Amino acid sequence: RSVAQHFIKQYKKHLRFPNLPCVRVEHKLQHMYFPVEVCDIVPGQRGLV
């Protein structure tokens, strides 16, 4: 299942740009992937590459 399909099923949200890459977030021992269009970057946020 694609990320776009997951968002439709889980959140009832259609992505406007389903072909854009995802942002990988590392939390403890797991990796999570979020579509860039649902992410907000806060000024001064650390750890962006």
pLDDT at 48 over 90: no
For residue 32, being part of any structural domain is answered with yes
pLDDT at 24 over 70: yes
**Residues 19-43, mean pLDDT to the nearest whole number:** 90
For residue 44, being part of any structural domain is answered with no
Number of domains in the chain: 1
Residue 43: the pLDDT is 87
pLDDT at 42 over 90: no
Phi and psi (nearest 5°) for 3? -60, -40
For residue 22, being part of any structural domain is answered with yes
Percent of the chain having pLDDT more than 90?
55
For residue 34, being part of any structural domain is answered with yes
State the residue range of the domain holding 27: 3-38
Residue 47: the pLDDT is 66
Query: What's the chain's Rg over C-alpha atoms?
Result: 12
For residue 46, being part of any structural domain is answered with no
- Structure-block tokens of residue 40: 């907000």
